[in-house]
Amino acid sequence: MYDTLREYCLLRDVAKSSGLGLVCVACDLGFRDQDVLYKHFDTEEDHNGIHNGLSKREGDFILFLDRYRTAMGWETISKDDFPIKFNQTGRRPGRRPFYTFFEVDFVLEKKGQLKFNTLDRSLAIVWEVVRNAKKDYVCPLCLVLCSTTKAFYYHCNQLKDDVHTGLAYKGPDCQLFLPHYFTALKATVPETELPLGRGRKGTYSFHECFRLEFVLQWKQGE
């Protein structure tokens, strides 16, 4: 149970750190902001214009809730369940807060609860969100997904702090890499478990240490 919870929390952080903070409730794709998400709703015909009620009249909001409920598998939806609060006059607030209906935490919690009431369901959804990004590597320190190791090294070179500089080390001395790697993971991995490869001229290749699955296996949460 603890390990499932740890994996779930880490993946949720991966999604947020990687700009996948909003989730399409119809297909579990992650998006960085509402404009991109709403564009996605526009282009996917089977999504039924789920967002159309968000920017127009009150009546459209009822239509939105209807489509949203169907996409979520949410049989009943009461105002108490909304991730936004209505003001005293009962009028809905302006357009901005509606992204909260698609926020990764809210969607994962509600979809998990609604269908099976288990953490496993939420874990499966967050895996889907992260896998849909089609990026195999992750920074073990800030949990940002990277499509290639080259993109990962670029990320390290942008940040340039001690840990990132250590993570980007490429050379023959493991000890110039491992302490930084363990700091980033907040864990120590036995050397026999480390997927170290051999590069040219006696150097090590640390690429596999940044693979998402491997990082998730060892990384400790806050």
Point out which residues pair with 137 in neighbouring strands: 146, 211
Tell me if 151 contacts Zn ion by CB under 5 A.
no
**Which one among 9, 27, 124, 189 touches Zn ion, defined by CB under 5 A?**
27
Q: Please, which residue, 8 or 102, has the CB nearer to Zn ion? A: 102
**φ, ψ (nearest 5 deg) of residue 211:** -70, 135
**Which one among 22, 54, 141, 209 touches Zn ion, defined by CB under 5 A?**
141
Closest distance to Zn ion from the beta carbon of 86 (Å): 27
Point out which residues pair with 146 in neighbouring strands: 137
Q: What is the CA radius of gyration of the chain?
A: 21
Closest distance to Zn ion from the beta carbon of 91 (Å): 29
Closest distance to Zn ion from the beta carbon of 193 (Å): 22
Q: Which two tokens stand for residue 210?
A: 């940044």
Tell me if 139 contacts Zn ion by CB under 5 A.
yes
Which residue type occupies 158? Q
19 Rama class: left (phi>0) / alpha (psi -120 to 50) / beta: left
Tell me if 133 contacts Zn ion by CB under 5 A.
no
Give the binding site for Zn ion (CB under 5 A): 24, 26-27, 139, 141-142
